[in-house]
Amino acid sequence: MIYIAPSLLSADFANLEESINRVTEAGANYLHLDVMDGLFVPNISFGAPIISSIRKKSKLFFDVHLMIKEPIRYIEDFTKAGADIITFHLESCKDPDAVIREIRARDIRCGLAISPATPVEEILPYLPKIQMALVMTVVPGFGGQAFMPNCLEKVRVIRRIAERDNLKLDIEVDGGITEENVGLATAAGANVIVSGSTIFRSKRPKLTIANMQKAAKANPYKG
């Protein structure tokens, strides 16, 4: 199954409830929530209070993507706010294993992300300890950037290893995903697809998500 995760970063922040309802009715599987601190990335977005407020309005699976320095400080807050999975960046902390332990001590899933500049080898030792690997297909920080196709080789490597080692691992791609390139990502082995500007700027989000699902089905991972 392919999960489509609209990124709220591209929504109208004055009308969050309406924006969320719109993508929910359009067939979104997850809601991708980008938390940025102005330090790990140059942009600032929103934090736990906003997530906690929208949690009361939505039953979607909350896919929280932390782009913050030393995320271990905030795992408790984002868990309480209603995250279903917390994904943090390998590059953002001194002790990734401690963050993984902190997340897995709670009743939520754990994801680990790598930015385009990070070699895939660096995430491999963590794969057996996490439920999702997030391969960034743009430099994190902003919505609406162009997809970097060369990052998909990392998805292929991770999927191959997950299959070889029998790991139950989701692979998420995030950044610049459109109806045109989503098939490249699924063929490489991704099964969770983040899409911000493509879905939120669409006049017909239901059609956009249906087209993404169709493209994904037409381009499955074949090993």
Catalytic residues, by residue number, are: 34, 174
Q: Collect all residues with Cβ–Cβ distance below 8 Å to 57 and sequence separation of at least 6.
A: 16, 17, 20
Q: Does 65 bind Zn ion (CB under 5 A)?
A: yes
Nearest-angstrom CA–CA distance, 92 and 73: 12
CB of 78 to ligand DX5, least distance (A): 15
Q: φ and ψ at 147, to 5 degrees?
A: -55, 135
CB of 222 to Zn ion, least distance (A): 27
Instruction: Select the span of 27-35, 80-88, 117-125, 179-187 touching Zn ion (CB under 5 A).
Output: 27-35
Closest CA relative to residue 91, chosen from 67, 111, 110, 74: 67
Q: Collect all residues with Cβ–Cβ distance below 8 Å to 217 and sequence separation of at least 6.
A: 2
Q: φ and ψ at 96, to 5 degrees?
A: -55, -35
Nearest-angstrom CA–CA distance, 68 and 155: 23
Neighbours of 107 (CB within 10 A): 7
Binding mask 61-90 for ligand DX5 (x = CB under 6 A): ----x-------------------------
Instruction: Select the span of 79-87, 114-122, 175-183, 202-210 touching ligand DX5 (CB under 6 A).
Output: 175-183
Nearest-angstrom CA–CA distance, 167 and 161: 8
Distance of CA 61 to CAs 28, 30, 120, 125, Å? 9, 5, 27, 27
Q: Does 47 bind ligand DX5 (CB under 6 A)?
A: no
CB of 7 to Zn ion, least distance (A): 5
Binding mask 122-141 for ligand DX5 (x = CB under 6 A): ----------------x-xx
Binding mask 140-169 for ligand DX5 (x = CB under 6 A): xx-xxx------------------------
CB of 178 to ligand DX5, least distance (A): 8
- Which lies closer to ligand DX5 via its Cβ, residue 111 or residue 176? 176
Write out the DSSP string of 82-114: T-SEEEEEGGG-S-HHHHHHHHHTTTSEEEEEE
CB of 42 to Zn ion, least distance (A): 15
Q: Which residues contribute to the site for ligand DX5 (CB under 6 A)?
A: 7, 9-10, 32, 34, 65, 138, 140-141, 143-145, 174-177, 194-198
- Site residues for Zn ion per CB under 5 A: 34, 65, 174
